[in-house]
């Protein structure tokens, strides 16, 4: 049994070991693209699933990584949409339900690492939607708009 879930892995961009045997890589899409700069993008999860309704038993993983799409206003066929995904119009429900599902599949005392970029939606707004405060977090990126947050079940 795998110990870690990446609930929306995309192309596994931030993983040092993109084939880590302890991780169940999940995403709702399997696809590949040649991007505008010629790079090849492959989204190939171990399991296809929607992070808002995961077919996984409660209390399964010691660690869950939740890095959902964070852009609402984006062309559906743009390279950024292909690379990162796009949030639907009902995105507050999607984020709330996804966070709840990630917490549900965590073991007691398990850790959820939630990555969010606030280019279009602030972390303050996200925290009000999920109604839970992180233990700690850290801004990163060129403009400190990407926030890594840690939660414990």
**What percent of the chain has a predicted confidence (pLDDT) above 90?**
82
Give the mean pLDDT of the chain: 94
Domains located in the chain, CATH noted: 4-152 (3.40.50.150)
pLDDT tens track for 3-52? 999 999 999 999 999 999 999 999 999 998 887 778 888 999 999 999 99
pLDDT level of residue 151 (50, 70, 90 thresholds): very high
| Total Cβ atoms within 10 A of residue 88 | 10
Half-sphere exposure of 63 (CA within 13 A, CB side): 12
pTM over 0.95: no
pLDDT, position 80 = 80
Q: Which of 143, 137, 144 is nearest to 66 (CA)?
A: 137
Cα dihedral 111, 84, 138, 129, rounded to 10, equals -70
């Amino acid at each position: 049994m795998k110990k870690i879930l990446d609930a929306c892995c995309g192309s596994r961009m931030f993983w040092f070991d993109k084939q880590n045997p302890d991780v169940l890589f999940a995403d709702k899409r399997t696809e590949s693209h040649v991007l505008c700069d010629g790079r090849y993008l492959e989204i190939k999860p171990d399991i296809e699933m929607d992070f808002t309704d995961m077919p996984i038993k409660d209390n399964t993983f010691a660690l869950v990584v939740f890095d959902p799409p964070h852009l609402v206003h984006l062309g559906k066929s743009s390279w950024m949409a292909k690379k990162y995904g796009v949030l639907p119009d009902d995105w507050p429900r999607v984020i709330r339900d996804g966070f709840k599902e990630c917490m549900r599949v965590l073991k007691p005392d398990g850790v959820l690492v939630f990555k969010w970029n606030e280019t279009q939606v602030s972390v303050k707004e996200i925290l009000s939607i999920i109604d839970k405060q992180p233990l700690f977090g850290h801004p990163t990126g060129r403009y400190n708009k990407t926030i890594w947050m840690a939660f414990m079940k």
